[in-house]
Amino acid sequence: MISIIILFEVTKTSNITDVKMVVLRLKHQRYMTALLSSTTILLLLYFQNSLLVFTYGSYGFISKEVPCECSICVTDRENSNWFSERYDPNIPLLLNSTNSVLRSNVSRWWKELQLNAGNYTEVVDQLFPLFPDKEHYSDTGPDRCRTCAVVGNSGNLLGSKYGPLIDFHDFVIRINKGPTEGYEKDVGSKTTHRIVYPESAIDLDNSTHLVLLPVKILDIQWLISAFTTKNITQTYIDVPSTIKADKDKVMILHPEFIRYVYDNWTEGHGRYPSTGFLTLIFALHICDEVSVFGFGATSDGIWHHYFEKTLTSFESGIHAGKFENETINRLQQENKILMHKGWT
């Protein structure tokens, strides 16, 4: 094609200098065409691997990287000022050797929750040779859409037939002793994480992460003992001396995370947050879409666990149940969670 154009141009020129000029100009055009083609390909590859949305600003369209591949991402803080004011993406979620030194205000607050505070540094030194010492859930990005089901223990799960829907999620996070056996139709059978403290611990299968909620240093000592000496059998009540669980899947919630939930999400109400509420906020930090099951009262306004008849209350002297419940409802209003109440 270029040779034809050159021939055409030569017929229009009167000397060899003009011919050289034409050839140089055509070579320059070919170079620019190749450069533009390469740039276009690179841009296409970039856009393919980095999902972008465009918002109109005062100077035209401005690109913004989307935080996940889901249609609605929990970590997108721009669509809710209320959420953005409370959510801290940099808070340490789980203890490891690189973040185990507590800030003075966190250490002081955490130790006030316990009657007999042990030597935290000595306990931590024993902890990480036994259990995984690494950063977890740092794989966030525009290519990930991790769906999570947070399953509470409310009686509103009975008759809900949520089981298959719950099991469909990537992560299924359960709380304390909530059983699955015999309740699979309503609560599902899959469990990827179970958040417990010594007084609520149960045996787990090898597919489940044991996530310890340490309200006191003794809780961490119990965890160590349960996998080694088995000598701790009592805290403020009798506790199991050992537990069946995969020690390579053990995690410990960071005391600073507990304090953060207390400060930012319960706003200082109660003595410390409930296990269920801590679990929900934990899910907001490791998941891209969060569905919530088994929270709140039944359709008759009754509070009880689906696996027992004893009535419970969302309000107690320790936890600010009413405030937590209001915050959970606000999270739904802000499209940060999807609530399933078992009734309409």
pLDDT at res. 314: 60
pLDDT by position in tens, the chain (length 344): 444 443 334 444 445 445 444 444 544 555 555 544 544 444 444 444 333 343 333 334 334 567 899 988 998 877 899 999 999 999 999 999 999 999 999 999 998 988 777 789 999 999 999 999 988 998 888 999 999 999 999 999 999 999 999 999 999 999 999 999 999 999 999 999 999 999 999 999 999 999 999 999 999 999 999 999 999 999 999 999 999 999 999 999 999 999 999 999 999 999 999 999 999 999 999 999 999 999 988 888 888 899 987 777 665 568 888 999 999 999 999 999 999 998 64
User: Within 10 A of 322 (CB to CB), how many other CB atoms are there?
Assistant: 13
> What is the predicted pLDDT for the residue at 316?
58
Q: Decide: 328 and 280 in contact? Cβ < 8 Å.
A: yes
Residue entry with tokens 């991790």: 146
Sequence ranges of the binding site for substrate:
114, 153, 176, 236, 272, 276, 296, 305, 319
Query: Which residues are part of a known binding site?
Result: 114, 153, 176, 236, 272, 276, 296, 305, 319
pLDDT at 338: 96
Q: Which amino acid belongs to residue 108?
A: R
CB-CB contact of 70 with 289 (8 Å): yes
Cross-strand pairs, 147: 289
What domains can you pick out in the chain, each with its CATH number? 2-49 (no CATH), 77-340 (3.90.1480.20)
Confirm whether 193 is a catalytic residue: no
d(CA 195, CA 125): 23
319 is catalytic: yes
**What local confidence, expressed as pLDDT, does residue 13 receive?**
42
User: Catalytic: which of 169, 272, 304, 340?
Assistant: 272
Among residues 210, 196, 171, 181, the alpha carbon closest in space to that of 293 is found at 171
Exactly one of 169, 209, 304, 319 is catalytic; name it.
Answer: 319
Place of tokens 């053990």: 250
In angstroms, the CA 278 to CA 213 distance is: 9
